[in-house]
Chains A and B, each alone.
Chain A
């Protein structure tokens, strides 16, 4: 880890987001989200269109356009980037957070060879001479398991395959050894075989670098393969959060349960049988701003009147398990602890409404 990253509180989480609200283009994309990514851990943020996951990722990396309104706190390795003067920010950001974009073809400079784009980091931030920077860039490429790094370094992005480009992006993100990596759906546009390679690479890198990784995805399979903990986003808010095993075994929120069930049914069902489906469509961000009630209610099998009137807050349902639902399922407690009865002191009860199932 670089001196800069270490100097900023070695014990601090890689990423700590508190009460994040993001608004741009007249739309509130994120409506109060909080999460934490520890070093050496992968937090998968899963959501569909309109969930706000990409906006959260961009906000955390401080890459939203200046016209965006961002409120709330974002700390990377204990450092609040908003508090830094612009020049400091520029100098330190690459060693604090590495951002891996979804579309590597668009995110790489089309008129520069791959090696030079990585080398640029060393020339600008470490004042390395060109030859040394080039050599270091080639070393970074072999770190992401590219067999012939010298050859790839000389090529332009449009001359590389999709998987190769993604590796270049990853190499660029880890080059300055930041304590935090933010990966925004890096495998969505890739073939399943290529995706498998990248996931394997990510697993390896997590161990090698000790960085905390915020991995955005819409695919539960990716979550299963990679994540230590999971946050589920819907309509701009986090609706469930917890460790990956617990979440897969016993999801609390009906949306999470729907996603998991869809996936399991796809794999296990018999040919010709109808698939399990969640009704309706994910809401468009403009539709949800200012509406009362839970945004998932129209699609929810557990819907009651309480759901239409009051949006549930994200609350602890069990140790380490958070869910925003009036009718959250409670996972079975570990032996030896008392089990919280269902429907009791949740926000529904606080407002004098009975929680029904």
Chain B
């Protein structure tokens, strides 16, 4: 088992590095002059050139690349072009804010999706209706759901706050948005795994042993549902923590996603790179964590198959 883990961690680090390299190179394809973004009202070319020299933007790509990654390996994410602050200090609070949203979103989608899946399994007659609901939710883009919720509950019914902010009241709608959009995935997993389990030979054995339905669900079926669900949770947490951009933009939620969008508009490269790297690390980390928990729950996944 240790060998498996070490391999995963190594692969994860390589993945993060790869993402960083790609992002860095992508920056240079994006049109726009950061110098001009910093000083939009500057008139003379000399001023702009001065800025460029200060930020080392006049150096060849290779040198900038080497500089950036050298300081990266020392744990330094650089300084924002626009804000005169270290990138790390900019990102940290935003990361926490997104963290709350991510958590709330995952909780929402588990509850909604789990409920849908359970209903579909235990009440076969409404299964078609549940499938229709799932498909609808899957087809809807995040921003549409978000905007509709905002419109209905925020502006029309005045049930939820509509201005940006990061408090407990403000988290409801964006979390609900994430929950609705993500629910079908969990519904699918729950329904599939339960159907599989309930028709499986070992559940039949449990019935033969005279165990009650509820006991069987609890002791024998649930664990097998957990395994793939945990994988999905890991993926979701990682994905959300790397910035649920659309939802944050719609609701003005001051998280890392919103920061990334703003920095892109400002051509604030270091911050953009910082968000990308933090996002990649989050994805790798949470996937790994999910794997660990899954190994605990399902002993079959502890060894790689021979």
A–B contact, 8 Å CB criterion (strictly below)? yes
Binding site for B on A (CB under 8 A): 61, 63, 65, 89-94, 97-99, 101, 103, 106-112, 120-121, 124-125, 156, 158, 169, 172
Binding site for A on B (CB under 8 A): 199-202, 204-212, 215, 219-220, 223-224, 297-300
B215 neighbours in A (Cβ, 8 Å): 124
Whether A107 and B202, one on each chain, are in contact in the complex, defined by CB atoms closer than 8 angstroms, is yes
Expressed in whole angstroms, the Cα–Cα distance for A94 and B201 within the complex equals: 16
A94 neighbours in B (Cβ, 8 Å): 208-210
Which of B199, B207, B299 has the largest number of chain A CB atoms within 10 A?
B299
B210 neighbours in A (Cβ, 8 Å): 89-94, 121, 124-125
Whether A99 and B300, one on each chain, are in contact in the complex, defined by CB atoms closer than 8 angstroms, is no
Whether A107 and B209, one on each chain, are in contact in the complex, defined by CB atoms closer than 8 angstroms, is no
Name B209's closest neighbour in chain A (CB-CB). Answer: A94
Whether A108 and B300, one on each chain, are in contact in the complex, defined by CB atoms closer than 8 angstroms, is no
Expressed in whole angstroms, the Cα–Cα distance for A93 and B207 within the complex equals: 9
9 nearest CB pairs, A to B: A106-B201, A107-B201, A94-B210, A99-B208, A90-B210, A93-B210, A107-B205, A109-B202, A111-B223
Tell whether A109 pairs with B206 under 8 Å between CB atoms, given A103-B201, A158-B300. yes
Tell whether A109 pairs with B209 under 8 Å between CB atoms, given A63-B204, A101-B201, A101-B204. no
B300 neighbours in A (Cβ, 8 Å): 110-111, 156, 158
Expressed in whole angstroms, the Cα–Cα distance for A93 and B299 within the complex equals: 30
Expressed in whole angstroms, the Cα–Cα distance for A111 and B208 within the complex equals: 18
Expressed in whole angstroms, the Cα–Cα distance for A89 and B208 within the complex equals: 10
Name B204's closest neighbour in chain A (CB-CB). Answer: A63
A156 neighbours in B (Cβ, 8 Å): 299-300
What 16 new A-B contacts, CB under 8 Å, besides A94-B208, A106-B200, A172-B209?
A90-B210, A90-B212, A91-B210, A94-B210, A97-B208, A101-B201, A106-B201, A106-B202, A107-B205, A111-B297, A111-B298, A112-B220, A120-B209, A124-B210, A156-B300, A169-B205
- Count CB-based A-B contacts (< 8 Å): 67
A98 neighbours in B (Cβ, 8 Å): 208
A92 CB to closest chain B CB (Å) equals 7
Expressed in whole angstroms, the Cα–Cα distance for A280 and B201 within the complex equals: 32
Complex A-B: 16 CB contacts under 8 Å? A63-B207, A65-B199, A90-B210, A90-B211, A93-B209, A107-B204, A107-B205, A109-B205, A110-B299, A111-B223, A111-B299, A121-B210, A124-B211, A124-B215, A158-B299, A172-B209
Which of B202, B206, B224, B299 has the largest number of chain A CB atoms within 10 A?
B202
Name A169's closest neighbour in chain B (CB-CB). Answer: B205
Whether A93 and B211, one on each chain, are in contact in the complex, defined by CB atoms closer than 8 angstroms, is no
Expressed in whole angstroms, the Cα–Cα distance for A61 and B206 within the complex equals: 13
Expressed in whole angstroms, the Cα–Cα distance for A51 and B105 within the complex equals: 53
A55 CB to closest chain B CB (Å) equals 14
A108 neighbours in B (Cβ, 8 Å): 202, 205
B211 neighbours in A (Cβ, 8 Å): 90, 120, 124
A61 neighbours in B (Cβ, 8 Å): 208
Name B202's closest neighbour in chain A (CB-CB). Answer: A109
Expressed in whole angstroms, the Cα–Cα distance for A111 and B223 within the complex equals: 8
A101 neighbours in B (Cβ, 8 Å): 201, 204-205
A264 CB to closest chain B CB (Å) equals 35
B223 neighbours in A (Cβ, 8 Å): 111
B89 CB to closest chain A CB (Å) equals 45
Name B203's closest neighbour in chain A (CB-CB). Answer: A109
B199 neighbours in A (Cβ, 8 Å): 65
A110 neighbours in B (Cβ, 8 Å): 202, 224, 298-300
Tell whether A99 pairs with B205 under 8 Å between CB atoms, given A91-B210, A125-B210. yes
Name A103's closest neighbour in chain B (CB-CB). Answer: B201
Expressed in whole angstroms, the Cα–Cα distance for A106 and B206 within the complex equals: 12
Name A124's closest neighbour in chain B (CB-CB). Answer: B211
A93 neighbours in B (Cβ, 8 Å): 208-210
Name B207's closest neighbour in chain A (CB-CB). Answer: A63
Which of B204, B210, B212, B219 has the largest number of chain A CB atoms within 10 A?
B210
Which of B204, B212, B298 has the largest number of chain A CB atoms within 10 A?
B204
Expressed in whole angstroms, the Cα–Cα distance for A94 and B211 within the complex equals: 9
Name B298's closest neighbour in chain A (CB-CB). Answer: A111
Which of B204, B209, B300 has the largest number of chain A CB atoms within 10 A?
B209
Name A113's closest neighbour in chain B (CB-CB). Answer: B299
Expressed in whole angstroms, the Cα–Cα distance for A198 and B202 within the complex equals: 21
Name B227's closest neighbour in chain A (CB-CB). Answer: A111
A141 CB to closest chain B CB (Å) equals 16
Name A105's closest neighbour in chain B (CB-CB). Answer: B201
A158 neighbours in B (Cβ, 8 Å): 299-300
Whether B204 and A109, one on each chain, are in contact in the complex, defined by CB atoms closer than 8 angstroms, is no
Whether A121 and B201, one on each chain, are in contact in the complex, defined by CB atoms closer than 8 angstroms, is no
B206 neighbours in A (Cβ, 8 Å): 109
Expressed in whole angstroms, the Cα–Cα distance for A215 and B286 within the complex equals: 50
A65 neighbours in B (Cβ, 8 Å): 199
